[in-house]
């Protein structure tokens, strides 16, 4: 049994024991109805007392199984095998009293093997198979014969046997179809999850390679940037009397200073990432800082900002990479809006159940359906000179918090990117998170 998003067939002894417990209740009901039908409708002289005793034992064990499931202690791997063994032995006992191997319901001995094969290791399945096959062979040589149907003779007994085989076949087919279908669905879900993890690993490897190269580049740029800053300072003093030239030099100085600050921030982010340092601040302060940083980067873009007042003063732990991710999302949204002649982007901060929901919306032409489903998993871009890093870095940051990044079409055109970050993680973020 496998697990995927809580919808597929779960894996583990506890889940199998739970399935066996419910199937056992169905078996008790079916066996009771069968005895009643054979006794009152067919009027066959079967050992009702002994059969009811066997069903009563199964009912008592069923109560014990549900009691065991209510316990919080771990269910060991051998317990499902023990449960299956009890079910098989009780079924064998009931078949022994009703014809043994000639009973049409003998094929139900296959079901324990099927259930074990869906969840247990090969050794356990082998034990269950040996027990079922051994029970079958025992019943071939040891059993109490079924009485003849009154007034019908061999023909009536044969017809009754065929009817029993048909019912047994229907039960077996239904259960096999149900469990195999669930197992197949779980396998498909696991394959999809494996593909998702593979894409995530490739993305992270790409980010790591870029980060390594960025660290080397930052180290190499520091020296020529310092030299440029020194020369620009001297050039500013020499051109103080020429207004046009002085203004251009001041602009160059400001850009050089910004490059120096970016390099320092890059080193700071890397240091904090290695040490797991997170800064505690309010949600309002985080997004005010993000808005200010983006305003310096793109002063020509208008940001429509909305913050849930219930979240404004909530204190959270933030790593520098989170603010960079938000700025990247806003920058991508700005590029998409500008490509369509619009200068507006939206940043909406609210709550989605137990997560902080950050929506960044552009007013561009929107993303293709294929790109929406894989947003942030690959280095892909729709911009002519884009690198495809913005969404990938934002998605990687969301993964660090145990969150997610989802893209979907916005009402009225454009794309809305939703960054979901669990509030529980934000309240107490560590490097291991």
Task: Identify any residues that bridge with 282 across adjacent strands, giving them in sequence order.
Answer: 315
Predicted local distance difference test score (pLDDT) of residue 370: 44
Same domain, 267 and 382: no
Instruction: Kindly give, in sequence order, each residue whose CB lies less than 8 Å from that of residue 113, ignoring residues fewer than 6 positions away.
Output: 125, 128, 129, 132
Least confident of 120-134, 194-208, 320-334: 194-208
Q: Which of 135-139, 215-219, 385-389 has the highest mean pLDDT?
A: 135-139
Whole-number Å distance between alpha carbons of 393 and 131: 55
Whole-number Å distance between alpha carbons of 20 and 109: 14
Same domain, 415 and 293: yes
| Average pLDDT for 360-368 | 80
Closest by Cα among 116, 69, 112, 75 to 90: 112
Of 256, 274, 292, the residue that ends a domain is 274
Determine if the pTM surpasses 0.85: no
Instruction: Kindly give, in sequence order, each residue whose CB lies less than 8 Å from that of residue 235, ignoring residues fewer than 6 positions away.
Output: 249
The CATH number covering residue 315 comes to 3.30.565.10
Predicted local distance difference test score (pLDDT) of residue 161: 61
Q: Is the pLDDT of residue 432 over 50?
A: no
Within-domain flag for 163: no
How many Å separate Cα 96 from the centre of its chain? Answer: 47
Same domain, 217 and 290: no
Within-domain flag for 406: yes
* 395-398 long-range contacts, CB within 8 A, separation 24+: 395/203, 396/203, 396/204, 396/207, 397/319, 397/321, 397/322, 397/324, 397/325, 398/325
Q: Is the pLDDT of residue 420 over 80?
A: yes
Same domain, 307 and 401: yes
Helix (H, G, I), strand (E, B) or coil at 45: coil
Of 254, 274, 294, the residue that ends a domain is 274
């Amino acid at each position: 049994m496998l697990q995927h998003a809580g919808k597929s067939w779960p894996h583990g002894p506890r889940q199998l024991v739970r399935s066996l417990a419910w199937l056992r209740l169905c078996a008790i009901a079916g066996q009771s109805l069968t005895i009643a039908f054979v006794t009152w409708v067919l009027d066959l002289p079967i050992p009702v007392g002994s059969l009811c005793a066997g069903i009563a034992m199964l009912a008592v064990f069923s109560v014990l199984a549900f009691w065991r499931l209510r316990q919080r202690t771990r269910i060991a791997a051998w317990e499902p095998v023990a449960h299956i063994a009890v079910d098989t032995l009780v079924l064998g006992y009931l078949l022994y009293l009703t014809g043994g191997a000639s009973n049409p319901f003998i094929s139900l001995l296959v079901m324990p093997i099927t259930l074990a094969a869906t969840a247990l290791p090969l050794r356990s399945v082998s034990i269950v198979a040996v027990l079922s096959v051994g029970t079958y062979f025992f019943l071939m040589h040891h059993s109490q014969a079924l009485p003849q149907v009154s007034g019908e003779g061999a023909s009536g007994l044969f017809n009754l046997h065929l009817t029993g085989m048909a019912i047994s076949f229907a039960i077996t087919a239904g259960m096999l179809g149900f469990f195999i279908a669930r197992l197949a669905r779980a396998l498909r879900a696991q394959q999809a999850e494996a593909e998702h993890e593979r894409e995530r690993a490739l993305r992270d490897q790409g980010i790591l390679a870029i980060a390594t190269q960025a660290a080397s580049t930052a180290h190499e740029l520091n020296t020529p940037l310092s030299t440029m800053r020194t020369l620009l300072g001297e050039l500013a003093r020499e051109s103080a009397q020429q207004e046009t030239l002085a203004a251009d030099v001041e602009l160059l100085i400001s850009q050089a200073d910004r490059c120096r600050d970016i390099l320092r921030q890059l080193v700071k982010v890397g240091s904090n990432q290695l040490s797991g340092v997170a800064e505690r601040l309010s949600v309002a302060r985080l997004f005010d800082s993000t808005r200010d940083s983006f305003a310096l980067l793109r002063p020509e873009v208008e940001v429509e900002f909305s913050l849930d007042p219930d979240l404004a003063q909530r204190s959270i732990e933030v790593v520098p990479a989170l603010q960079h991710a938000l700025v990247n999302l806003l920058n991508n949204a700005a590029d998409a809006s500008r490509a369509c002649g619009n200068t507006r982007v939206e940043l909406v901060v609210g709550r989605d159940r137990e997560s902080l929901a950050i929506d960044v919306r552009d007013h561009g032409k929107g993303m293709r359906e294929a790109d929406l489903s894989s947003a942030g998993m690959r280095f892909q871009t729709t911009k002519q000179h884009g690198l495809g890093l913005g969404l990938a870095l934002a998605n990687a940051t969301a993964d660090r918090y145990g969150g997610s990044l989802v893209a979907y079409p916005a009402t009225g055109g454009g794309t809305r990117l939703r960054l979901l970050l669990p509030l529980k993680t934000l309240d107490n973020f560590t490097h291991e998170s």
